[in-house]
């Protein structure tokens, strides 16, 4: 029987900490728990209040542990796509043990050699971008264990990110008494979950990750992440005028954005969609008022994205994919045609995590499972003994219920026959 692998993915996002706990069993991914905790310690992807971030991480972990019944000891950590750099290497590996058969340690040898390469002093290695194998002049994507060859090449593309950002994010996790199982760029993790890497073999893929305070645009081509840029405009800017006028909280403002149900100002009705009674004032916002304030700013943001990506779109066949928490704003489905190329809004369909906010956390598990074919680590995120005890308890309860149900059914059959 396959061993259950339970992983916890952590994203320190704009104004919130996101945690997803999932299991990989027999090749299937099952979400066990999602947590989202408000956090005021991050501004524009920078840690400004370390203590606040640490407290929020601990709260998210505590909430998940209480629901699951076992401790979370280590996490997969998302790293913001800040100052991203690529490095490509072609590593020659000799199969010189006399077997002429590629073994896992040969592949690990080539991978470890590649990741030792330093690109510059201000960045650190985060994760592999793409690994291809050239065996007997044949290009292979899967790990070529047991292939016969005297030597082979590994075409390894690596991703690096801002050193200061990595250290500050990692320090918060460690101060929350968690180990870091692995790092992954947030843009790459999203691309794994949303199948952007696969789609990029047919066309240029422009991934747009829209969050509260910023937007990360990433370009993918032939299964690799090529480049990223950050726009300092998030979805909260769409409603900033109403937010300032009525002193609305971020949570209320986001809910209002989700209630923008039309992309046509003329269709908006003069009906009240939000009421709030404060000490000395009563707030009433109509659908027309909301649409008239928000839609022009959404269109302006799309124009900003179009301008930034115009050289790419003119170069080759391209497609936009909108993800992130901002993708939950339903009106974007009607605004897809406003982009200067084919555009889609990604809808997460994974049971238990149907929100654009969790796409990154889900993708980190995919990325880890893929690279772990090389690293071959048996570590999981939770306490293994407590996990096994929890599974045994569930099995015992299930068996007891099944036995009890059978006894009740048998008793009912006997009583029926007597009657």
pLDDT value, residue 397: 64
Angle between the N-to-C axes of helices 104-115 and 359-375, in degrees from 0 to 180, rounded to the nearest 10: 120
Based on the domain organization, do 134 and 222 belong to the same domain?
Answer: no
Rounded CA separation 269/287 (Å): 6
Output the CA angle 310-313-319, nearest 5 degrees. Answer: 125
One DSSP character per residue, 339-405 reads SSSEEEE-----TT--SGGGHHHHHHHHHHHHHHHHH-----SB-HHHHHHHHHHHHHHHHHHHHHH
Based on the domain organization, do 219 and 128 belong to the same domain?
Answer: no
Rounded CA separation 355/2 (Å): 29
Structural domain includes residue 371? no
Q: Alpha helix (H) ranges present in 88-182?
A: 104-115, 163-175
Based on the domain organization, do 207 and 137 belong to the same domain?
Answer: no
Q: What is the CATH number of the domain that holds 117?
A: 3.30.1490.110
Structural domain includes residue 295? yes
Structural domain includes residue 358? no
pLDDT value, residue 278: 83
pLDDT value, residue 1: 45
One DSSP character per residue, 356-373 reads GGGHHHHHHHHHHHHHHH
Q: In 225-258, which positions are buried (b, 16+ CB within 10 angstroms) versus exposed (e)?
A: bbebebeebbbbbbbeebbeebebebebbbebbe
Based on the domain organization, do 245 and 118 belong to the same domain?
Answer: no
Cα–Cα nearest to 225, from 262, 267, 197: 197
From first to last of its 419 residues, the chain has per-residue pLDDT tens of 456 799 999 999 999 999 999 998 877 889 999 999 999 999 989 999 999 999 999 999 999 999 999 999 999 999 999 999 999 999 999 998 778 899 999 999 999 999 999 999 999 999 999 999 999 999 999 999 999 999 999 999 999 999 999 999 999 999 999 999 999 999 999 999 999 999 999 999 999 999 999 999 999 999 999 999 999 999 999 999 999 999 999 999 999 998 887 888 888 889 998 999 888 889 999 999 999 999 999 999 999 999 999 999 999 999 999 999 999 999 999 999 999 999 999 999 998 999 999 999 999 999 999 999 999 999 999 998 998 888 767 666 666 666 566 556 555 655 555 55
What's the number of domains the chain is made of? 2
Cα–Cα nearest to 298, from 273, 269, 266, 330: 330
Structural domain includes residue 385? no
Strands 16-25 and 28-38: antiparallel
Based on the domain organization, do 211 and 307 belong to the same domain?
Answer: yes
Specify burial of residue 372 (Cβ count, 10 A radius: 0-12, 13-18, 19+): middle
Q: What is the CATH number of the domain that holds 289?
A: 3.30.420.40
Structural domain includes residue 183? no
One DSSP character per residue, 228-273 reads EEEES--GGGGGHHHHHHHT--HHHHHHHHHT---S-GGG--S-EE
Structural domain includes residue 310? yes
Count of other CB atoms within 10 angstroms of residue 72: 24
Based on the domain organization, do 153 and 229 belong to the same domain?
Answer: no
Based on the domain organization, do 129 and 225 belong to the same domain?
Answer: no
pLDDT value, residue 401: 63
Which CA distances in Å does 136 have to 93, 104, 140, 148, 317? 12, 17, 10, 9, 33
Cα–Cα nearest to 93, from 172, 46, 147: 147
Cα–Cα nearest to 257, from 224, 294, 307, 203: 294
Rounded CA separation 62/54 (Å): 12
Which domain, by its residues, includes 309?
202-345
Rounded CA separation 276/284 (Å): 7
Rounded CA separation 134/180 (Å): 32
Q: Which of 345, 362, 384 is the last residue of a domain?
A: 345
Q: Which of 292, 319, 345 is the last residue of a domain?
A: 345
Q: Which of 345, 377, 400 is the last residue of a domain?
A: 345
Structural domain includes residue 286? yes
Rounded CA separation 283/260 (Å): 18
Structural domain includes residue 22? no
Rounded CA separation 336/339 (Å): 6
Q: What would the two tokens of residue 333 be?
A: 């489905």
pLDDT value, residue 198: 95
**Contacts (Cβ under 8 Å, ≥6 apart) of 256:** 239, 242, 248, 273, 274, 285, 290
Based on the domain organization, do 285 and 150 belong to the same domain?
Answer: no
């Amino acid at each position: 029987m396959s061993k259950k692998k339970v992983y916890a993915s952590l994203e320190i996002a704009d104004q919130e900490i996101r945690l997803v706990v999932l299991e990989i069993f027999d090749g299937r991914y099952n979400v066990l728990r999602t947590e989202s905790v408000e956090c005021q310690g991050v501004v524009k992807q920078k840690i400004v209040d370390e203590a606040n971030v640490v407290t929020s991480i601990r709260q998210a972990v505590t909430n998940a542990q209480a629901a699951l019944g076992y401790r979370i000891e280590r996490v997969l950590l998302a790293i913001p796509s800040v100052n991203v750099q690529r490095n490509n290497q072609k590593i020659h590996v000799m199969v010189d043990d006399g077997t002429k058969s590629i073994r896992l340690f040969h592949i690990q040898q080539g991978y470890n050699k590649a990741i030792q390469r330093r690109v510059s002093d201000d960045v650190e290695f985060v994760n592999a971008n793409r690994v291809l194998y050239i065996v007997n002049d044949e290009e292979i994507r899967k790990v070529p264990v047991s292939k016969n060859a005297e030597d082979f090449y590994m075409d390894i593309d690596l991703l690096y990110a801002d050193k200061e950002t990595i250290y500050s994010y990692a320090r918060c996790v460690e101060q929350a008494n968690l180990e870091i199982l692995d790092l992954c760029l947030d843009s790459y993790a999203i691309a794994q979950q949303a199948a952007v890497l696969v789609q990029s073999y047919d066309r240029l893929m422009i991934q747009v990750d829209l969050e509260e305070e910023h937007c990360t645009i990433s370009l993918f081509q032939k299964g690799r992440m090529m480049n990223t840029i950050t726009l300092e405009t998030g979805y909260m800017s769409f409603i900033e005028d109403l937010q300032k006028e009525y002193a609305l909280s971020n949570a209320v403002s986001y809910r209002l954005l989700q209630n923008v149900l039309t992309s046509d100002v003329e269709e908006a009705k003069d009906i009240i969609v939000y009421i709030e009674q404060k000490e000395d004032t009563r707030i009433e916002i109509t659908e027309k008022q909301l649409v008239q304030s928000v839609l022009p700013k959404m269109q302006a943001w799309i124009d900003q994205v179009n301008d930034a990506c115009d050289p790419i779109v003119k170069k080759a066949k391209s497609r936009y994919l909108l993800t992130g928490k901002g993708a939950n704003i339903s009106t974007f489905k009607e605004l897809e045609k406003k982009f200067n190329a084919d555009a889609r809004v990604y809808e997460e369909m994974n049971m238990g995590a149907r929100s654009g906010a969790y796409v990154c956390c889900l993708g980190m598990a995919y990325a880890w499972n893929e690279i772990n074919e090389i690293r071959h680590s048996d570590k999981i995120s939770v306490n293994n003994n407590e996990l096994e005890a929890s599974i045994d308890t569930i099995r015992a309860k299930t068996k007891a219920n099944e036995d009890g149900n059978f006894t009740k059914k048998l008793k009912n059959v006997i009583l029926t026959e007597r009657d």
